[in-house]
Amino acid sequence: MTIRYPVAPPTLADVAERAGVSRQTVSNAINNPDLLRADTLARVQEAIEELGYSPNRAARNLRTRSSHLIGLKFQPAQEGTANAAMDRFVHSLVETAGGAGYHILLFAVGEDEDHLRGYDDLLRATAVDAFIVTDTYLGNPQAAWLRQRRAPFVSFGRPWDDDAADHPWVDVDGAAGVDLATTHLLDRGHQRIAWIGWHKDSRIGEDRRSGWTRAMHGRNLSTTGLASRTEDTVSSGHDAAAVLLDEAQPSAFVCASDTLAMGVLHTLRDRGLTPGHDVSVIGFDDSQVAQVINPGLTSVRQPLEEVAVEIVRALEGLLSTPAVVSPGVLLTPTLAVRETG
């Protein structure tokens, strides 16, 4: 704590001299402490402490051909939507990765230029050890490209339709989450529960939807006429709810996102219906919006902290012993129950 910069930081050789041992021994003290006798180790650690030594990252990276950096393409929440899972996820990730000795490197790729360019540069420059890929939507070329490049990566999201995929992945069981929400409503006596989701080409959307049909059919209830597929915007949710209310008279809505659920709430407000009393509404993502509105929006909450833990675990396996083939991990969301459902 008494060192002033910008004097040259101490090197491993400085520590060795101070502790009266060799460079090799200091290196071992740091990387293979169990090779040293207890008293020697203590002496070296003391010298490290006194000098405020910390191994130079660049030198270490050069020699070991690894950076202990994980690349993550940062995708912010879209304006005008309620979905903000990234924020919570990134935080959990940074914390967990930090515990494992890794840091998160953010990068962006411009909209116009080649989307893979960013990955390529970082990879070739050995700037990162691995990537975390977050959007595995249909036709997303990232995963295929990374695999072909033999770049280590873990994806948050299943390789939906890519049967050649053999990379580790972690995902949240959206169907189970929606099933949970639907069952919660069924247990409260609802029979006519509507679904508002995304277009058919969204695998995530179809997965979530299947949780609704599963729960409904499990109670021998029909789902015909009770589903709507639309864009992920508030106004789309608003319109879809209006149509469903007119044509199918549902007593509750389960939505693929909090954004859509907000649209439903607006429709209820238009018609003087009280959410949670006249009509129940459940969203998906447990966004800040769900938490601060009144009445509070019941919503499916993804276990993002666990996702981060599993992703880091997978990364460690991937980077330490390449033989370990970690399959996918599927986590189950919970339901944050509030007033609307």
Of residues 157-186, those binding DNA (CB under 7 A):
none
By the 8 A CB rule, do 202 and 210 touch? Answer: no
Q: Does 257 bind DNA (CB under 7 A)?
A: no
Judged by CB under 8 A, the number of residues near a copy of itself is 77
- By beta-carbon proximity to a copy of itself, the closer residue of 103 and 200 is 103
What's the CA gap between 47 and 138, in Å, rounded?
55
What's the CA gap between 181 and 9, in Å, rounded?
56
With a CB cutoff of 8 Å and minimum separation 6, the contacts of 236 are 230, 260, 263
When binding is defined by CB under 7 A, the residue of 5, 63, 101, 163 that contacts DNA is 63
Judged by CB under 7 A, the number of residues near DNA is 28
Q: Does 24 bind DNA (CB under 7 A)?
A: yes
What's the CA gap between 10 and 41, in Å, rounded?
18
Give the range of 12-20, 67-75, 161-169, 324-332 binding a copy of itself by CB under 8 A: 67-75
Give the range of 51-59, 85-93, 112-120, 130-138 binding DNA by CB under 7 A: 51-59
Question: Roughly how many angstroms between the first and final C-alpha of the chain, as a whole number?
Answer: 55
Ranges within 127-156 binding a copy of itself (CB under 8 A): 127, 129-130, 148-152
Q: Does 307 bind a copy of itself (CB under 8 A)?
A: no
Q: Does 98 bind a copy of itself (CB under 8 A)?
A: yes
Q: Does 60 bind DNA (CB under 7 A)?
A: yes
What are the φ and ψ backbone dihedral angles of 308, each rounded to 5 degrees?
-60, -45
What the block records as the tokens of 125 is 């420059």
Q: Within 10 A of 265 (CB to CB), how many other CB atoms are there?
A: 26
Q: Does 46 bind DNA (CB under 7 A)?
A: no
- By beta-carbon proximity to a copy of itself, the closer residue of 90 and 175 is 90
- By beta-carbon proximity to DNA, the closer residue of 14 and 231 is 14
What the block records as the tokens of 89 is 């996820």
3-state secondary structure 87-143: HHHHHHHHHHHHHCCCEEEEECCCCCCCCCHHHHHHHHCCCCCEEEECCCCCCCHHH
Give the range of 9-17, 87-95, 210-218, 305-313 binding DNA by CB under 7 A: 9-17
Q: Does 265 bind a copy of itself (CB under 8 A)?
A: yes
Contacts with DNA by CB under 7 A lie at 8-9, 11-13, 20-25, 27, 30-31, 35-37, 40-41, 53, 55-56, 59-60, 62-65
